[in-house]
């Protein structure tokens, strides 16, 4: 039996979701199954390539729904889980008992653990640390911005490595380690340690980049790094680390795969946040969660990304002025 597991790539919760699904599947479904992993990225256009569901069974965790008849298992928690209303209706009509949607959960990892416990008697005591940290990381439940930005915990170090991975097989090779070892042991693996040290040095430089390019106006930090050489993923909490008075952030960045508009809210600023960021981003073809969301455009659509980002920033400023 061969199982294809598609997961949200370069995402700590995506990797942890694939790890806990691995343990669930082997304990509750088939202990001898071979699980192969494919990382999925949000991008403009078609998300699922032809032939991606090539297993005897196929699963998606922490990523959008597919109406493919070859999809067997599905777990997601994003408000924007369905590309179309037809996909949502397809899910609602499914009676197989293997597809689950939990938009009230901070992380897909914890959602899978909940479904496993309540419906399949799955209780992986040794994965509780992984489940708790996935909830902290994906739900932005850090006690303070220093914890998120200074990265002293194994989970935050792994998050940096996972988000900064460039080799397509890196996170798939890491998933079995996450399914079998404590986070501190995984973070101490030589390959992980080496990657973390390199990425952390870049992260420290990124703090300076944000300090130089970010501007706070009307409670919203606006950051545009699309013209930066050697583009890299920026820790989304840096703006709040540098500008604690910020309520929201809007950031434009670019990689080989896409131009991205990231929209977030400051979890440590007590100002009431009335804007639903997923709903706002859905207006421009994106989505995500109420408190953090994003829009993916083609790599060459920088002008359009900047236009949309400025529109969103103005909408967020207006929502704060109405308080």
Cα-Cα-Cα-Cα dihedral of 157, 43, 81, 18, to 10°? -40
Q: Each residue of 177-208: pLDDT tens digit?
A: 999 999 999 999 999 999 999 999 999 999 99
Conformational region of residue 6, where left means phi above 0, alpha means psi within -120 to 50, and beta covers everything else: beta
What is the average pLDDT across 7-25?
Answer: 97
Say yes or no: 167 and 273 in one domain. Answer: no
| Runs of H (alpha helix) within the chain | 12-28, 85-93, 108-120, 128-138, 145-150, 154-164, 170-180, 183-187, 190-213, 238-242, 277-282, 302-321
Q: How far apart are the first and last CA of the chain?
A: 57
Residue 166 has pLDDT above 90, yes or no: no
Say yes or no: 131 and 185 in one domain. Answer: yes
What is the average pLDDT across 119-124?
Answer: 97
Q: Each residue of 246-277: pLDDT tens digit?
A: 999 999 998 888 899 999 999 999 999 999 99
Which pLDDT score is estimated for 80? Answer: 87
Which pLDDT score is estimated for 232? Answer: 58
| Alpha-carbon gap, residue 136 to 53, rounded angstroms | 31
Phi, psi for 195 (deg, rounded to 5): -65, -40
Label residue 322 by pLDDT band (50, 70, 90). Answer: confident
Say yes or no: 185 and 309 in one domain. Answer: no
Is 297 a member of any domain? yes
Say yes or no: 115 and 169 in one domain. Answer: yes
What is the average pLDDT across 116-128?
Answer: 97
Beta pairing, strands 34-40 & 2-8 = parallel
Residue 9 has pLDDT above 80, yes or no: yes
The encoded tokens of residue 40 equal: 């999925």
Is 197 a member of any domain? no
What is the average pLDDT across 141-145?
Answer: 94
Give the HSE-up count for residue 229: Cα atoms under 13 Å, Cβ half-sphere. 0
Distance from the Cα of residue 133 to its chain's centroid: 13
Is 200 a member of any domain? no
Say yes or no: 136 and 250 in one domain. Answer: no
Label residue 1 by pLDDT band (50, 70, 90). Answer: very high
| Alpha-carbon gap, residue 73 to 207, rounded angstroms | 40
Residue 230 has pLDDT above 60, yes or no: no
| Alpha-carbon gap, residue 88 to 79, rounded angstroms | 11
Single pTM value for the model: 0.85
Residue 231 has pLDDT above 80, yes or no: no
Please state the length of the chain: 323
Which pLDDT score is estimated for 319? Answer: 95
Say yes or no: 236 and 163 in one domain. Answer: no
Residue 237 three-state SS: coil
- Report the share of the chain in percent with pLDDT over 90: 86
Residue 83 has pLDDT above 90, yes or no: no
Show the domain range for 254: 214-321
The encoded tokens of residue 135 equal: 């909830």
Q: What separation in angstroms does the CA of 220 have from each of 100, 139, 240, 278, 300?
A: 35, 20, 10, 17, 25
List CB contacts of 84: < 8 A, sequence separation 6 or more: none
Say yes or no: 144 and 251 in one domain. Answer: no
Say yes or no: 293 and 185 in one domain. Answer: no
Say yes or no: 169 and 68 in one domain. Answer: yes
Q: How many CB atoms lie within 10 A of CB 142?
A: 17
Residue 127 three-state SS: helix
Average model confidence (pLDDT) across the chain: 94
Residue 229 has pLDDT above 70, yes or no: no
Beta pairing, strands 73-76 & 2-8 = unpaired
Which pLDDT score is estimated for 48? Answer: 79
Q: Tell me how many domains the chain contains.
A: 2
Residue 13 has pLDDT above 90, yes or no: yes
Domain boundary among 158, 191, 224: 191
């Amino acid at each position: 039996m061969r199982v294809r597991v598609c997961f949200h790539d370069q995402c700590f919760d995506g990797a942890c979701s694939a790890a806990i699904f691995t343990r669930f599947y082997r304990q509750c479904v088939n202990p001898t199954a071979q699980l192969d992993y494919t990382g999925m990225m949000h991008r403009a256009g078609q998300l699922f390539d032809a032939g991606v569901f090539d297993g005897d069974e196929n699963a998606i965790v922490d990523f959008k729904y597919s109406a493919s008849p070859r999809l067997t298992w599905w777990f997601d928690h994003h408000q924007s889980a369905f590309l179309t209303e037809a996909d949502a209706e397809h899910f609602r009509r499914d009676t197989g008992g293997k597809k689950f949607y939990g938009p009230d959960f901070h992380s897909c990892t914890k959602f899978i653990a909940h479904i496993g416990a309540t419906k399949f008697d799955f209780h992986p005591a040794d994965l509780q640390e992984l489940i708790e940290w996935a909830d902290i990381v994906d739900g932005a439940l850090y006690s303070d911005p220093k914890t998120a930005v200074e990265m002293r915990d194994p989970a935050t170090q792994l998050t940096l490595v996972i988000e900064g991975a460039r080799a397509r097989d890196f996170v798939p090779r890491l998933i079995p380690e996450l399914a079998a070892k404590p986070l501190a042991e995984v973070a101490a693996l030589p390959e992980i340690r080496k990657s973390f040290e390199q990425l952390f040095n870049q992260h420290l430089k990124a703090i300076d980049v944000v300090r130089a390019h970010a501007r706070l106006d009307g409670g919203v930090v606006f950051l545009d790094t699309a013209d930066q050489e050697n583009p890299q993923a920026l820790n989304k909490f840096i703006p709040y680390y540098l500008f604690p008075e910020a309520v929201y952030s809007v950031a434009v960045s670019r990689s080989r795969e896409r131009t991205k508009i990231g929209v977030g809210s400051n979890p440590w600023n007590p100002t009431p946040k009335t804007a639903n960021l997923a709903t706002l981003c859905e207006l421009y073809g994106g989505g995500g969660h109420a408190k953090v969301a994003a829009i993916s455009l083609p790599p060459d659509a920088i002008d359009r990304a900047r236009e949309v980002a400025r529109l969103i920033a103005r909408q967020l400023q207006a929502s704060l002025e109405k308080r």
